[in-house]
Chain A
């Protein structure tokens, strides 16, 4: 398994501002992922973040809105930029270890 720490656990933000979410894993992993889970919905992959390369974004998600950093093999950040109420969701990071994805507890974001 994997021990994943995600911060903040929740936040309430004003529209037009940006929030950076941090994800820390207990030991090195090659692949990290960022998901969005809208209220009452399933998980949707935003992007895959590999250390030393640009993140790979899924259809419907763009770097300007969701910039991602992956400075080393145990850490990644996702920024939700220029937020609107439609960005209110749970944002989850996951890591790939032994071919299995393990998830953090998520960041619950409310945008007013």
Chain B
């Protein structure tokens, strides 16, 4: 089956620093999604990417859909304490089925 490799598994940063995480796959996806999960909650959609090469921003977050359609990255600029959580990438095929990465646990020290 399809697998997503997400890295890093965890990050410990100081408030104000920039963050970068990425996902790679051996398979092509039609859509890349980035979700954030806070403790005790379900994943919340941050950014959706629909076209190869697409670069999309949502406030301090920027994500890109790789040209090969097999990878994506998420950047967070000027991190703040509420950025703490687990970030998941997900690839979607035409059948609406999602394949999730293993997640990146982000800790921001004030």
Interfacial residues, chain A to chain B (CB-CB below 8 A): 1, 4, 6, 31, 41-45, 48, 59, 92, 94, 96, 99-106, 108
Contact = CB atoms under 8 A, between A and B. Distances in A.
Contacts of B103: 42
Interface of B: 1, 31, 33, 35, 40-45, 48, 88, 90, 92, 96-98, 100-103
A103 B46 CA distance: 12
Contacts of A31: 96
B22 to A, nearest CB: 15
Contacts of B35: 103
Q: Is the interface of A mostly helix, strand, loop or mixed?
A: strand
Contacts of A41: 102
A45 B97 contact: yes
Contacts of A101: 33, 90, 92, 96, 98
B45 A100 contact: yes
**A-B CB proximity, top 8 nearest:** A103-B42, A42-B100, A43-B100, A105-B42, A103-B43, A106-B42, A42-B102, A104-B42
Contact of A100 (B33, B88, B100, B102): B33
